[in-house]
């Protein structure tokens, strides 16, 4: 084998292997993924509902993701949120109406797979057909403000 051929083969191998080494250096081995947030359902704000925080904290600055489960027939009075949220319906039917007064004749049905964006400050109300599970993502700080404070389940005796 000629010296020139050997030199060409060595340089070719270096050219092929160097990028792989650079990629490996930029993406060091990570420990196995760990569950984030709560891994169990906890009681929610609406009677009969449960929630699971997946990541983050809605009360602080930063991304949060949570899941909420509502029983069939549960209702949420007109309210608004302090930040925009993205909602994906995972199960059941979310009935969503816009405005300051609960009116079941002016609502849209959203079934499994539906994706909604609710802008912060948008007045709306909800009720649920079947047991409904939704996935919610947003950027905190995030709060729910009821138009009529007496409708807030957290302030009821």
Section 43-54 average pLDDT: 89
Section 10-20 average pLDDT: 58
Given a cut of 70, whether residue 84 has pLDDT beyond it is: yes
* CB proximity list for 51: less than 8 A, separation 6 or greater: 41, 42, 43, 44, 45, 66, 67, 68, 69
| Higher-scoring residue by pLDDT: 36, 126 | 126
- Residue 58's CB is within 10 A of a number of other CB atoms, namely 22
Section 135-142 average pLDDT: 95
- The whole-number pLDDT of residue 46 equals 87
Query: What average pLDDT does the chain have?
Result: 84
- The whole-number pLDDT of residue 118 equals 96
Q: What percent of the chain has pLDDT over 90?
A: 64
What value does the CA radius of gyration of the chain take, rounded to a whole number of Å? 25
Q: Which CATH number fits domain 42-155: 3.40.710.10, 1.10.1060.10, 3.40.50.620, 2.60.120.10?
A: 2.60.120.10
pTM passes above 0.85: no
pLDDT band, residue 155 (cuts 50/70/90): confident
Burial class (CB in 10 A: 0-12, 13-18, 19+), 25: exposed
Given a cut of 90, whether residue 10 has pLDDT beyond it is: no
HSE (CB half, 13 Å, CA atoms) of 143?
9
Section 109-116 average pLDDT: 98
Section 6-27 average pLDDT: 58
Q: Where are the domains of the chain?
A: 42-155
Given a cut of 90, whether residue 134 has pLDDT beyond it is: yes
Given a cut of 60, whether residue 116 has pLDDT beyond it is: yes
Nearest Cα to Cα of residue 94 among 79, 111, 81: 111
Section 34-62 average pLDDT: 81
């Amino acid at each position: 084998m000629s010296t020139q051929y050997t030199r060409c083969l060595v340089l070719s191998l270096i050219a092929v292997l160097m990028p792989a080494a650079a990629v490996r250096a930029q993406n060091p081995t990570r420990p196995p993924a760990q569950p984030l947030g709560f891994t169990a359902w906890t009681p929610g704000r609406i009677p009969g509902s449960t929630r699971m925080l997946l990541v983050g904290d809605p009360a602080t600055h930063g991304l949060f993701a949570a899941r909420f489960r509502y029983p069939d027939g549960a209702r949420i009075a007109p309210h608004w949120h302090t930040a925009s949220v993205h909602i994906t319906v995972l199960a059941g039917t979310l009935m969503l109406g816009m405005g300051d007064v609960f009116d079941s004749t002016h609502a849209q049905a959203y079934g499994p797979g539906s994706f909604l964006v609710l802008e912060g400050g948008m007045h709306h109300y909800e009720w649920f057909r079947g047991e409904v599970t939704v996935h919610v993502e947003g950027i905190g700080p995030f709060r729910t403000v009821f138009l009529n404070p007496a409708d807030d389940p957290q302030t009821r005796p």
